[in-house]
Copies of this chain bind each other. A is one copy, B any other.
Amino acid sequence: MPISKLPQVFPRAEFLRRLAAVKDEMAKRDVEALVVTDNAHITYLTGSTARSFDTRGLVVSAREEQPTFILRWMDVPAAFQETFLDRDKVIGYPEELMGNPSKNGYDAVIDFLLEAGLADGRVGLEMGTLTVHSAEKFRARLQQAQIEDFSDIITSIRSVKNDLEIAVMKEAAAIADAGILHAAKVISPGMREADAIAEIVGALARGANGKPGTWITTPFLGASSRIGSPHVTWSEDVFGQGSQINLEIAGVRHGYTAPICRTFSIGKPSDRLLRIHEAQLAGLEVGLNSVRAGAVIGDVAHAIHRATERLGFKKRSRPGYGIGIDWMERTLSLQEGNLSVLKPNMTFHLHLGTWVEEDFGYSISESIRVTESGVEVLTKVPRELFVLG
């Protein structure tokens, strides 16, 4: 039985809008064909959210309305079902390209470029997500083409969301909130860290407001002797009275990812923990008050660093970065000295907290949207140090 499209997350017109923006950048660079290799960009331009280990490429031609998606043959039905692409715009490459020491899926992409007559002019290639071997393959097999590095150009385009994307980011943020609230409800002394994680990832899958999470990002959970490090996962320990727990999780809807950090204390928090919470919360609020369309990114970072410094817990790490599909967007780093200007509907993980000593750290954050006049906080749970029974 022929398969049909799944319910589409965004209308066809939205993907054509995104493609038009990419084609504008191609035209500026006189690029006739673009090979997109970053999975997040493929999601952005087609709606495909499936992920696998295999190489895959999306070819955008200046001459054609729809791009052509080239991937392993077995992944073709899902790509057709999930995206707005016509059936003949999804092309499967054969199994012989799997586990092959000399060839991979990019050979099929190159074959397509050659057969479509797209390999004689300027060809855009996302070098920033391509390995040396694959880039050499393109150079060796596209001798007639001038290869133009197209890294991060689509990342910049997608850094400004439209309202449809913001709606999906809000769904993701509601899931992140649900994860934090569920953690606050279930964590108790005597519980294994792993059992708390089981509860939290369950909440991230169940989602919020009838909209399930569509992907599971592994939570970071630092507790006991590991509260001086971010990016650590749970251990085989059990929570005790007085345990501090630093939690970083994210909700995901259709690739769009909204992270949040909160810190928990089982029983009365120490004075040091209370003071760092106050300092970082103040920094977060200064950040929220500094964000608005037109503000310089470096100035927001500067204001945050000064605020936390005044309260005795200087934040050493950058206070945020752009977010969207697949969590972090590489092009927007919230750092002092960054002269980029905030635009409406840019979205950030505004991330306060700091790693003070090797044995002590704290973290609080929100997913936010830049508005004309200020900021909209997408994550909604109370901005507090959660004190648990």
Contact = CB atoms under 8 A, between A and B. Distances in A.
Give the interface centre of A80, A135, A202, A215 by most chain B CB atoms within 10 Å. Answer: A202
Contact of A81 (B75, B194, B229): B229
B318 A231 contact: no
Contacts of A52: 230-231
B195 A206 contact: yes
Contacts of A192: 212
A261 B317 CA distance: 42
A184 to B, nearest CB: 18
Contacts of A201: 198, 201-202, 204-205, 216
B128 A130 contact: no
A386 B223 CA distance: 39
A233 B333 contact: no
Contacts of A3: 225, 228, 358-359
A283 interface: no
Contact of A2 (B100, B335, B359): B359
Contacts of A318: 95, 98-99
Given A3-B358, A198-B202, A201-B216, A49 B127 contact: no
Contacts of A358: 2-3, 76-77, 80
Tell me how many chains of this kind the complex includes. 2
Interface string A326-341: 0110100111001000
Contact of A132 (B132, B202, B203, B226): B132
A205 B194 contact: yes
Nearest to A200: B205
A328 B206 contact: no
A376 interface: no
A374 B181 CA distance: 50
A27 interface: no
Contacts of A357: 1
A197 interface: yes
Contacts of A22: none
Interface of A: 1-4, 6-7, 49-53, 73-78, 80-82, 95, 98-100, 127-133, 135, 151, 192-195, 197-199, 201-207, 211-216, 218-219, 225-226, 228-236, 316-318, 321, 327-328, 330, 333-335, 338, 355, 357-359
27 contacts: A3-B228, A3-B359, A50-B233, A51-B231, A53-B327, A74-B355, A77-B226, A78-B226, A78-B229, A80-B358, A95-B317, A98-B333, A98-B335, A99-B318, A128-B131, A128-B133, A129-B131, A130-B131, A131-B132, A133-B151, A195-B212, A197-B205, A197-B212, A198-B205, A198-B206, A201-B202, A214-B234
